[in-house]
């Protein structure tokens, strides 16, 4: 019996919209990644690019491939997006979804997201045009979504520790969560070092920083038995950064795709 094929992508190039490209407020853009099929499965129309976190930029959450990509071949993956109206730096993270609805990306193990990152400038008031005057009752300063400081996919087994600020495993100090099995068969994700957790809800839409901040984050352990594939969990790290992770696998370990924002 032949072994099942495997999925993995290799990032070749940003065909359009390289990191920190300047895009005017509200302008449409087409982000194109050139990706090579480094797995053994042929990508077909059942495969799709899927948004996993950060700033979606008004793109569709899931975009199916329109061509077949055999192993060793490359594809220019294009997704229509729109720049936000507010000035700021915006970054969105994406992966592919393939056979058995399993997420995969780039990197040595096919676990790393690929992304789009743009800068929307603050436009000056045109010369000679007077802005209307008014007396506000309250002053609110619009704030763009904080820029991610760390993101990726991690697989945790029992007794492993993870620093969600850096993605480091089993560092001597600064870990935010540990996967522990205090009694046989009862595995839990335990916040450590002052980090806080809370289940957010089911897919498809990931939480924003404000939505995570609004939750009652606490230091209570989360049993793996209470989690489900594609379930979402918000957190605040030991260093005070907000973030969330999506559950990708639960078969004997905890596989997550996480994203941590700057304060």
What is the pLDDT, as a whole number, of residue 64?
95
Residue 28 clears pLDDT 60, i.e. is over it: yes
What does the block give as tokens for 12? 């070749």
How many whole angstroms separate alpha carbon 233 and alpha carbon 226? 11
* Contact in structure between 231 and 199 (CB atoms under 8 Å): yes
Residue 231 clears pLDDT 50, i.e. is over it: yes
Dihedral angle of Cα 152, 157, 159, 163, to the nearest 10 degrees: 0
How many whole angstroms separate alpha carbon 94 and alpha carbon 151? 11
Return the closest-CA partner of residue 157 out of 199, 192, 187, 195.
187
β-pair type (21-22, 114-120)? parallel
pLDDT tens for each residue of 151-197 = 877 888 888 888 898 888 876 677 898 888 766 778 888 888 889 99
Residue 131 clears pLDDT 60, i.e. is over it: no
What is the pLDDT, as a whole number, of residue 181?
78
Q: Where are the domains of the chain?
A: 9-120, 148-261
Q: What percentage of the chain exceeds 90 in pLDDT?
A: 38
Average confidence (pLDDT) over 118-131 = 63
Average confidence (pLDDT) over 240-261 = 87
Residue 139 clears pLDDT 70, i.e. is over it: no
* Contact in structure between 44 and 27 (CB atoms under 8 Å): no
What is the pLDDT, as a whole number, of residue 107?
85
* Contact in structure between 118 and 83 (CB atoms under 8 Å): yes
Q: Which class would CATH give 9-120?
A: mainly beta
């Amino acid at each position: 019996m032949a072994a099942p094929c495997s999925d993995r992508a290799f990032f070749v190039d940003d065909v359009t919209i390289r990191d920190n490209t300047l895009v005017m407020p509200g302008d449409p853009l087409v982000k194109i990644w050139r990706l090579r099929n480094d797995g053994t499965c042929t990508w077909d129309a059942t495969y799709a690019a899927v948004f996993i976190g950060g700033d979606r930029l008004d793109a569709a959450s899931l975009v199916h491939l329109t061509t077949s990509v055999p192993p060793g071949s490359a594809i220019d993956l294009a997704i229509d997006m729109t720049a936000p109206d507010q000035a700021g730096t915006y970054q969105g993270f994406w992966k592919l979804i393939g056979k058995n609805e399993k997420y995969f990306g780039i990197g040595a193990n096919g676990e790393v997201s690929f992304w789009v990152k743009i800068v929307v400038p603050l436009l000056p008031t045109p010369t000679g045009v007077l802005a209307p005057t008014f007396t506000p009752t309250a002053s609110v300063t619009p704030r763009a979504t904080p820029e991610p400081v760390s993101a990726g996919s991690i697989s945790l087994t029992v007794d492993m520790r993870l620093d969600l600020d850096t993605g480091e495993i089993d560092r001597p100090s600064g870990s935010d969560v540990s996967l522990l099995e205090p009694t046989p068969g009862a595995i839990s994700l335990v916040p450590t070092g002052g980090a806080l957790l809370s289940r957010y809800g089911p897919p498809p839409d990931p939480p924003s920083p404000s939505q995570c901040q609004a939750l009652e984050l606490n230091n209570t352990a989360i049993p793996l038995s209470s989690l489900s594939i594609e379930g979402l969990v918000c957190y605040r790290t030991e260093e005070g950064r907000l973030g969330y992770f999506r559950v990708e696998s639960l078969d004997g370990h905890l596989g997550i795709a996480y994203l941590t924002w700057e304060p």
